[in-house]
Structure formats: structure tokens, C-alpha cells
């Protein structure tokens, strides 16, 4: 890993190495631009570190989740989570705000851990206010981003189908890889939902079903959340960073906790100051352009901490909107037990380690006509099947076995295994004035001496009513399958779905936004933000594919301007 002293001034500094940072580095390095990437977490190589073929019995606690590993022992996230030692924040779980802030302290960020659902935002999603009068319109259209969706899907490798559904854009022919077949339980869900008018279609995921660019197709082996040593799923660490480094134009420094963006007397960014986590010393890195990709809240924190006489309220904050309009995906869940899935004979459930299908939002017309009491939609993710059990797979079984044990309990476990099903809603949140982050007014700092964030959070009636609709719909589906409900989660706290967007919103009016449509600061032209922060709405489509596509578009614009000599 390079030291910033080896090259006194780079063309671009990128803060963060996840979806946005990785894509920004990939695009700029291939444009011939010299890039220094700074990552707050440690170095990480999934090819060497991924425990792909280890079973739960090989892990402590049989792989069960813990406070520092909430998704299980084998989850790829290292040194990160909703709580990070020495890095507190105010307004977290158990407080009035109850916002859960996820951070991944590792090279590649959240791309090592994410669910890899990759859905395009549609035309309605870019112009929501024009459609229903709520929220904010994007300063771009679907047609502006569509070519970058095409390029990102081809590069990353997305499987899926073309269904011709409303506001669920199809990719051009030949862009998507073939989806794996639906499993038996998914076919039952589709059969049940068809007379209800609910579409069940192949999902889009960033997992290869065909080899490309020297990467293997999926081996249908273990959970993608462990990482992938054969590079079949998308991770910044395997798909974006290695080819960017191969150009000779990218240097990476890990354990670099960026505190602030530095500016000169003209108000232009000159680089950043970071804390070396191994020495706790301040280090300065210089460049002609700075791109923040640290995650919506982390990038906002850096800007708010970058105070000066010229920018007393934080850098790029003349609008007062840095940290504002924080959003997450709306989530709710219902589980059930379906007798039709009991005693299923052993059969091949080959495929990726999650559902091959999902339900896109299907009630656009009813919503537009005012027949629903919430303004934006949701999609449905599903889970069931007879894949490898782990800790917790048989919790609650005593409610069905009437207290059996020994051989009879084993027979009962075989009978019921695979008959449980879960439906999770993932819905759009409308930005509101009550959801934002700020520098904690009490002056609290983390172990690196950096002022921490304080969160404020409140769902509107639209999100609350949407979650109620999710729960009632899921119960109807389970009932129609002949099952019974076993549990429900009416609405998850903000941040729990880990789809953090907003905080540095883009727009076409510098008094009402932080960035322009190319993720460029209105106040500081050589400062860009390309993570989820620029989002002005949070569609029901998972944001990672859009983050990468919009980052690619922004970096093409930046490269073009740099070649013109715009930034010196």
C-alpha cells in the first residue's frame, strides 16, 4: 500500500472503497487519472479470507450471530456493524431517534456483505414529486442514467429477466445473465399469488450464472455474505479495485480515517487530512479533486467537520442541507408455516443462497388513483427452502411437536424443515424534515478525536401505512397458501435495512441542494460526493446498482472536465 508522500499530489483522492468508491476508482483509473484511495478500515482480500466451504459446525457457537457479528460468524463484515468500538454516535438504538448506523471497516466496504439485489430505478422514481406532489424530483431522468445501468450491469454481472412491468425497467437484450430457475417453494408462492394479481418474477442479483472476465460462475455453494473467493458475486475488492490497480493509476491506503477536507484561500479543495488508525497521527494527502464515497452519513460527517472561516457551517453547506433528508428503506416482515411444504422429499435446491424470485411493486395505478393511504410502493423479498440449517433453524419447533424429544423429535424436525416461509417488504421512504444527522452539539468525539454524529429520525404516515399494508399482504399470501402466521415485525427502525441514502442531496437549484446532477458541489467545484448521499428519494429498489451507475456517470463527467483543464 502506498504512502501519500510517494506522490505529493494526486489528480483525485477518493474517500471510501465500496460501491461508489470502487466504481469511481475503476472509471477514473481507466481514464488515465492518478487516484489515491483512502479506506477507513483494514485491508481485506476475499480470495484469501473467505471461508466458503466451512459448515456451521466448524464455527464458534455453530456460526450463530453475536453483537459484533449480527449476521453470523462467517459474515464478511470485519471490524464493523451497527456498533463499532471506539466510534460512538448519538441517537442510536434504544434512544428517541432509534437510528441504526451500519459501518463496514474494511476494504470494499459494504459490497463484501450486501444481499446483491440489483434493481434499476424507473422513470417514476426519478420524478416522484411530479407524479404525486411529495418529496423532491431528481435533476436527471431515467434516460440520463439508463446507459450507465447498461454498462454497470455488464461489468458487474447481473442475472435477471425482462418482464415488461410498469416502472420496473427492462435491461436491453444481452445485458443480463440468465437467472437460475425458481425452486419448488417459489413456484408455490407464484401459483398462490397469481389469482391475487401479485406478480412473482425472477429477481435481479449481482451474481454470475455465466463466467466473465476471468471470473467463475457461481458454484451454488455458500452464503454470498461470506464473500466469494472465486469472484462469482460482485464485490468491489474483486471486481473493481484489481483492474483499477492494474492500470497503474490507483494507490490504496487502508486504516485511513478521514477527518476533514482541506481548502485553500480561494475555497477550493486541496486534499484531506486523515488519522492513521495504526499510529493515531494526522496525515495530509493532496489532490486536484476530492471525491467522498464514505457512505451517506460518513461523507456528511466529513463535510460538517470541515469548518473554516469561509465555511463556518461545514464545507459545501451554503444551503444548510448537508446531513438533511436522511433516508433508509422501509422494512417489515411476516413469517409463517405452510403444511403443503411439510415432509417434502429430499430434492435438488441448486442455486444461489437466497431466493431466485421476488415481487416488484404492482399497485402503481391504484396508488396514482388515490386508492391507497400511502404514496410510494414496496417490493417483496422471500425466504424458505431446505438449504443447510444453522443455529436457530429449529427454534420454535416445540410449538408444532407438542414436546416430543429423541427419535420422534428428529422425525418432527425432518417433517417441518423447509415448511417455514418469510416475506420481507422493502419500501420507498419519502424524504422529510425530521430525519437528519448533525455533529453532536455536546462536543463528543470518537477515539480518533473526530466529532461524532447525532441522529434524528421519524417516519411519516406514508411509511407507517406502507408497512401496515406490507404486513396485511404477507398475511393474506400465507393464508392463501394454507399456512398460518408464526411471527411479524411491523416496521424496522431507520438504518436497520442498511440502505442509508440522502444527506448531500443533488438538485438543479444550489439554494435547495448540496450537489448538481453530476454529484459536484455547488460551493466547491472540485469536490464531489458519489455515494448514496446524493439521492433525493429512496425508491423501493435497493440502491447499490444506482449508486454505482450514477457514480460512473459522475466520473465520466469529471474525467471530461479534467481533460479540459478545468481543475488545473
Task: Provide mean pLDDT across the span 131-138.
Answer: 97
Count other Cβ atoms within 10 Å, centred on residue 371: 9
Count other Cβ atoms within 10 Å, centred on residue 561: 16
pLDDT of the residue at 398: 80
392 vs 140, residue with greater confidence: 140
Task: Provide mean pLDDT across the span 490-516.
Answer: 98
pLDDT of the residue at 68: 86
Q: Quick one: pLDDT band at residue 545, thresholds 50, 70, 90?
A: very high
Residues 6+ apart with CB under 8 A from 549: 145, 148, 149, 151, 152
User: pLDDT tens-digit profile of 236-286?
Assistant: 999 999 999 999 999 999 999 999 999 999 999 999 999 999 999 999 999
User: Environment class of residue 243 by beta-carbon count within 10 Å: exposed (0-12), middle (13-18) or buried (19+)?
Assistant: middle
pLDDT of the residue at 1: 47
Task: Provide mean pLDDT across the span 324-345.
Answer: 96
Domain boundaries, the chain: 1-138+236-329+433-457+501-568, 160-203+331-427+460-492
pLDDT of the residue at 5: 56
Closest CA to 232 of 205, 208, 206, 204: 208
Percent of the chain with pLDDT over 90: 89
Task: Provide mean pLDDT across the span 492-509.
Answer: 98
pLDDT of the residue at 501: 98
Q: What is the pTM of this model?
A: 0.97
What are the distances in angstroms from CA 69 to CA 80, 172, 324, 335? Answer: 8, 39, 30, 23
User: pLDDT tens-digit profile of 207-240?
Assistant: 999 999 999 999 998 889 999 999 999 999 999 9
User: pLDDT tens-digit profile of 451-460?
Assistant: 999 999 999 9
pLDDT at 175 over 90: yes
**Inter-residue contact 136 to 505 (CB < 8 Å):** yes
Is the C-alpha dihedral spanning 518, 524, 530, 536 positive or negative? negative
pLDDT at 7 over 70: no
Buried-state track 300-336, b at ≥16 Cβ within 10 A, e below 16: bbbbbbbbeeebeebbbbbbebbbbbbbbbbbbbbbb
pLDDT of the residue at 556: 98
pLDDT of the residue at 181: 96
54 vs 4, residue with greater confidence: 54
β-strands 527-529, 420-427 pairing: unpaired
d(CA 440, CA 305): 11
Output the DSSP codes for 380-433: EEEE-------TTTTTTTHHHHTT--HHHHHHHHHHHTT-EEEEEEEE-B---T
pLDDT at 544 over 50: yes
Closest CA to 229 of 27, 481, 496, 51: 51
Percent of the chain with pLDDT over 70: 99
d(CA 342, CA 414): 8
**Inter-residue contact 243 to 65 (CB < 8 Å):** no
d(CA 178, CA 187): 18
Q: In the predicted model, what is the mean pLDDT of the chain?
A: 95
pLDDT of the residue at 347: 86
**Inter-residue contact 363 to 529 (CB < 8 Å):** no
Identify the CATH homologous superfamily for domain 1-138+236-329+433-457+501-568.
FAD/NAD(P)-binding domain (3.50.50.60)
The arrangement of strands across the sheet holding 436-439 comes to 453-456, 436-439, 324-327, 501-503
pLDDT of the residue at 3: 63
Closest CA to 200 of 213, 211, 208, 189: 189
Is the C-alpha dihedral spanning 493, 110, 118, 550 positive or negative? positive
d(CA 544, CA 560): 24
β-strands 330-337, 484-489 pairing: antiparallel
Amino acid at each position: 500500500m502506498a504512502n501519500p508522500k510517494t506522490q505529493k499530489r494526486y489528480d483525485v483522492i477518493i474517500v471510501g472503497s465500496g460501491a461508489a468508491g470502487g466504481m469511481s476508482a475503476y472509471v477514473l483509473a481507466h481514464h488515465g487519472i492518478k487516484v489515491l484511495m483512502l479506506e477507513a478500515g483494514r485491508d481485506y482480500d476475499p480470495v484469501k479470507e473467505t471461508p466458503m466451504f466451512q459448515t456451521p459446525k466448524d464455527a464458534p457457537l455453530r456460526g450463530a450471530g453475536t453483537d459484533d457479528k449480527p449476521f453470523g460468524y462467517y459474515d464478511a463484515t470485519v471490524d464493523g456493524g451497527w456498533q463499532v468500538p471506539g466510534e460512538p454516535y448519538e441517537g442510536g438504538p434504544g434512544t428517541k431517534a432509534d437510528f441504526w448506523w451500519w459501518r463496514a471497516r474494511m476494504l470494499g466496504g459494504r459490497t463484501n456483505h450486501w444481499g446483491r439485489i440489483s434493481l434499476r430505478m424507473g422513470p417514476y422514481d426519478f420524478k416522484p414529486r411530479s407524479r404525486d406532489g411529495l418529496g423532491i424530483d431528481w435533476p436527471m431522468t431515467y434516460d440520463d442514467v439508463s446507459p450507465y445501468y447498461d454498462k454497470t450491469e455488464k461489468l458487474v454481472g447481473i442475472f435477471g429477466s425482462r418482464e415488461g412491468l410498469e416502472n420496473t425497467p427492462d435491461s436491453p437484450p444481452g445485458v443480463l445473465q440468465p437467472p437460475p430457475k425458481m425452486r419448488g417453494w417459489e413456484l408455490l408462492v407464484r401459483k398462490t399469488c397469481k389469482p391475487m394479481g401479485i406478480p412473482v418474477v425472477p429477481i435481479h442479483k449481482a451474481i454470475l450464472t455465466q463466467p466473465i472476465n476471468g471470473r467463475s460462475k457461481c458454484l451454488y455453494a455458500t452464503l454470498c455474505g461470506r464473500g466469494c473467493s472465486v469472484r462469482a458475486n460482485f464485490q468491489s475488492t474483486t471486481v473493481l479495485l484489481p483492474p483499477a490497480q492494474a492500470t497503474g493509476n490507483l494507490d490504496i491506503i487502508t486504516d485511513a480515517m478521514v477527518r476533514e477536507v482541506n481548502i485553500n484561500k480561494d475555497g477550493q479543495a486541496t486534499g484531506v487530512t486523515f488519522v492513521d488508525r495504526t499510529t493515531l497521527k494526522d496525515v495530509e494527502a493532496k489532490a486536484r479533486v476530492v471525491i467522498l464515497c464514505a457512505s451517506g452519513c460518513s461523507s456528511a460527517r466529513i463535510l460538517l467537520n470541515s469548518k473554516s472561516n469561509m465555511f463556518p457551517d461545514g464545507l459545501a453547506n451554503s444551503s444548510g442541507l448537508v446531513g438533511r433528508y436522511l433516508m433508509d428503506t422501509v422494512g417489515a416482515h411476516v413469517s409463517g408455516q405452510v403444511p403443503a411444504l411439510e415432509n417434502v422429499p429430499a430434492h435438488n435446491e441448486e442455486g444461489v443462497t437466497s431466493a431466485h424470485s421476488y415481487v416488484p411493486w404492482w399497485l402503481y395505478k391504484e396508488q396514482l388513483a388515490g386508492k391507497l393511504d400511502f404514496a410510494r410502493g414496496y417490493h417483496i423479498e422471500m425466504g424458505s427452502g431446505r438449504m443447510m440449517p444453522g443455529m436457530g433453524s429449529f427454534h420454535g419447533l416445540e410449538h408444532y411437536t407438542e414436546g416430543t424429544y429423541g427419535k420422534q423429535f428428529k422425525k418432527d424436525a425432518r417433517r417441518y424443515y423447509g415448511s417455514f416461509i418469510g416475506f420481507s417488504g422493502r419500501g420507498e421512504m419519502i424524504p422529510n424534515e425530521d430525519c437528519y444527522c448533525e455533529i453532536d452539539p455536546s462536543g463528543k468525539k470518537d477515539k480518533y478525536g473526530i466529532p461524532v454524529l447525532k441522529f434524528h429520525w421519524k417516519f411519516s404516515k406514508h411509511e407507517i401505512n406502507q408497512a401496515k399494508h406490507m404486513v396485511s399482504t404477507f398475511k393474506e399470501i400465507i393464508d392463501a397458501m394454507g399456512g398460518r402466521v408464526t411471527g411479524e415485525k411491523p416496521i424496522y427502525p431507520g438504518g436497520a435495512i442498511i440502505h442509508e441514502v440522502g444527506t448531500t442531496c443533488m438538485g438543479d437549484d444550489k439554494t435547495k441542494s448540496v450537489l448538481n446532477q453530476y454529484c459536484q458541489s455547488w460551493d466547491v467545484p472540485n469536490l464531489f460526493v458519489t455515494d448514496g448521499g446524493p439521492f433525493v428519494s429512496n425508491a423501493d429498489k435497493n440502491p447499490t446498482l444506482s449508486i454505482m451507475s450514477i457514480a460512473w456517470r459522475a466520473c465520466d463527467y469529471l474525467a471530461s472536465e479534467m481533460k479540459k483543464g478545468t481543475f488545473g
